[in-house]
Amino acid sequence: MKVSAFNAYCATLPATTKVVQWGGSHVWKVGGKVFALASPWGEARPDNSFKIGFKCSDLAFQILTEQPGIRPSPYLGRYKWVQLQENDALSEEDTKAYIEAAHALISQKLTRALRRELGLLD
């Protein structure tokens, strides 16, 4: 998944905000908490030179990190974050599903009052 498609998809999820920080990383948050990011690497930074990372469940972390082209995310791996080393490490459909799951995982950790304020409660 290219960074433009990543940003477009993350923008469709409820109550999200994007900031560019940490050396040009596109950081997506819900309720002020990070759920996914795309980090640039290499000297040139075209659309396809970003590595996508996201929070995942314990089981998903174990499964994903056994796949080629996916590894524990630098600095965040101990918190069950993975990083896609290649644009095609996962299909775009699977990447979107994992990003949506990451959004849900982080949303569930927000206080009930904040989830209500953000319109995340049913």
> Can you give the pLDDT at residue 48?
60
CB 109 within 8 A of CB 33: yes
- Domain boundaries along the sequence of the chain: 3-115
> Can you give the pLDDT at residue 122?
66
pLDDT > 80? residue 111: yes
Classify 72 as helix, strand or coil.
strand
Mean per-residue pLDDT over the chain, rounded: 92
Q: What are the tens digits of pLDDT across the range 27-77?
A: 999 999 999 999 987 544 555 678 999 999 999 999 999 999 999 998 899
At 86, the pLDDT band (50, 70, 90 cuts) reads: confident
- Find all residues with CB under 8 Å of 19, minimum gap 6, and list them: 27, 29
Task: Please give the class, per CATH, of domain 3-115.
Answer: alpha beta
pTM attached to this predicted model: 0.91
Q: What percent of the chain has pLDDT over 70?
A: 93
By C-alpha distance, which of 24, 68, 55, 20 is closest to 42? Answer: 24
> Can you give the pLDDT at residue 33?
97
